[in-house]
């Protein structure tokens, strides 16, 4: 797991903005194999995302752990 995380992080740093299937293809793996290691990198703040679902792009993070609940903002009730 640690080796896959290191490989993913190195790839994301060298290729910012790629989607999951592009990363998996470049590393010769499938999207499912890299899903858990990528989630751990995101939670640790090593990787950040932009977009949603299949349009999600991955970028190097700032090292700050991801906030619980993601980046969605709640609207104030009226």
Q: For residue 18, give the CATH number of its domain.
A: 1.10.10.10
Q: Which domain holds residue 6?
A: 2-60
> How many domains does one find in the chain?
1
- 63 — pLDDT class (breaks 50, 70, 90): confident
Token pair for 6: 């290191």
Q: How many residues does the chain have?
A: 78
CA–CA distance, 13 with 66 (Å, rounded to integer)? 18
pTM of the model: 0.77
With respect to residue 36, please indicate whether it lies within any of the assigned structural domains: yes
Asked if residue 20 lies in contact with residue 34, where contact means CB atoms within 8 angstroms, the answer is: yes
With respect to residue 75, please indicate whether it lies within any of the assigned structural domains: no
Residue 74 has pLDDT above 90, yes or no: no
**What is the strand order of the sheet 57-60 is part of?**
18-19, 57-60, 47-50
With respect to residue 53, please indicate whether it lies within any of the assigned structural domains: yes
Residue 11 has pLDDT above 80, yes or no: yes
With respect to residue 77, please indicate whether it lies within any of the assigned structural domains: no
With respect to residue 46, please indicate whether it lies within any of the assigned structural domains: yes
């Amino acid at each position: 797991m640690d080796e896959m995380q290191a490989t993913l992080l190195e790839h994301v740093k060298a290729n910012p903005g790629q989607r999951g299937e592009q990363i998996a293809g470049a590393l010769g793996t499938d999207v499912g194999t890299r899903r858990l290691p990528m989630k751990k990198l995101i939670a640790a703040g090593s990787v950040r995302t932009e977009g949603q679902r299949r349009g999600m792009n991955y970028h190097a993070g700032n090292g700050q752990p991801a906030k619980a609940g993601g980046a969605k903002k709640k609207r104030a009730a009226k």
